[in-house]
Amino acid sequence: MTSSRRMTERGSPSLVTERRSIDLGGITVDLLRIGTFWSDAGAIFGPVPQETWAPMVASELDARSRLLQALNILHVSDASGAVLLETGAVPAGAQVSDADTDSRSAREALVSAGFDVERIASIVPSHLHRDHAGGLVDQQGAAAFANAQIVAPQREIAAVASGSLRARAAYDVPGLTRLFSATAPRSFDGTLELTPTITLRRLGGHTPGSQATIVRGRERTLLFLGDLFMRPWQANPRWVTAYDDEAWVSVDAKASIFAEAAAGEWLVVMSHEVQTPVGRIVADRDRFRFVSE
Ligand SMILES: [Zn+2]
């Protein structure tokens, strides 16, 4: 895979989609990196003091104290159909390449990687922030995946509609409102068995309706937590980002699901990790740590 270091040196990250295929036994998960963007490092580390985190990422920081972040999406497929986790930041038909973001749309990335997007029955954004739900629509605001149903916890849909100033900054409220009135999403509370092998669980924390996706193959189970676990340092449940709406909820939700993931030796995929997005969670004293696979 192209390293973030190389991309930083080049000054302009490549738009080549990085892809990794993971066979869980009877169900295949394809991880695609469809773009990159820069985030303020302090915001990613939230409550952690700079003198603690700065030495850990010294070689990755740019001159503005920012870290390169990936836009990772997951295509989950078995004999009965396909489900898409995340849609990235960019509407179908668009491509963004500026100083902060370099990305193509989820739809184009999938098509050019050879996936049959008409086979996608459900789209499951981990939450509805702009960098996860941007590819739900095309440039006209219509559904980018006309055959697919969007699945989101009721609490996340309510957060978009809350009118809160914070929500209006983080979500594309007019765009999502238009989309959801044209095509009602499938909503749920608590837990949803989306398919015989895919379970969704509303955890909250990062946003009120942040959800975990658990994919159970015959041989391995895979966990995707969206921005509750965007980079490896967040394997410590107390290390939450400044973007987490409900930090207390994030800490407890991570502690609980990381214990499950560690006990079951689940594979875990991170939403914004560039270099080592796939690995395992292992227990480490009163916290956990990430080991790449
Ligand atoms: Zn994000």
Task: Delimit the domains of the chain by residue range.
Answer: 4-292
Q: What is the pLDDT of residues 139-174, one digit of tens each?
A: 999 999 999 999 999 999 999 999 899 999 999 999
Q: Render 60-106 in DSSP notation, one character per residue.
A: T--TTSEEEEEEEEEEEEETTEEEEE---SS-BT-EEESSSEEEE-H
* Predicted confidence (pLDDT) at residue 137 exceeds the cutoff of 80: yes
Residue 226: closest CA among 254, 246, 247: 254
CATH class, domain 4-292, is alpha beta
pLDDT of residue 95: 85
Distance CA 50, CA 194 (A): 41
Q: Compute the distance from residue 229 Cα to the ligand 1 centre, in Å.
A: 10
pLDDT of residue 99: 85
Q: What is the pLDDT of residues 35-91, one digit of tens each?
A: 999 999 999 999 999 999 999 999 999 999 999 999 999 999 999 999 999 999 999
Q: Compute the distance from residue 79 Cα to the ligand 1 centre, in Å.
A: 30
Q: Compute the distance from residue 266 Cα to the ligand 1 centre, in Å.
A: 22
Q: Compute the distance from residue 126 Cα to the ligand 1 centre, in Å.
A: 9
Backbone angles phi, psi at 96, to 5 degrees: -115, 130
Q: What is the pLDDT of residues 85-124, one digit of tens each?
A: 999 999 999 989 988 889 999 999 999 999 999 999 999 9
Lookup result for tokens 């029955």:
121
**Cα–Cα–Cα angle for 110, 112, 117, rounded to 5 degrees:** 40
Q: Compute the distance from residue 239 Cα to the ligand 1 centre, in Å.
A: 16
Q: What is the pLDDT of residues 227-275, one digit of tens each?
A: 999 999 999 999 999 999 999 999 999 999 999 999 999 999 999 999 9
Q: Compute the distance from residue 244 Cα to the ligand 1 centre, in Å.
A: 10
Look over the chain and give the mean of its residue pLDDT values, rounded to a whole number. Answer: 93
18 pLDDT band (50/70/90 cuts)? confident
Q: Compute the distance from residue 73 Cα to the ligand 1 centre, in Å.
A: 11
Q: Compute the distance from residue 61 Cα to the ligand 1 centre, in Å.
A: 18
Backbone angles phi, psi at 101, to 5 degrees: -135, 140
pLDDT of residue 16: 53
Q: Compute the distance from residue 125 Cα to the ligand 1 centre, in Å.
A: 10
Q: Compute the distance from residue 16 Cα to the ligand 1 centre, in Å.
A: 20
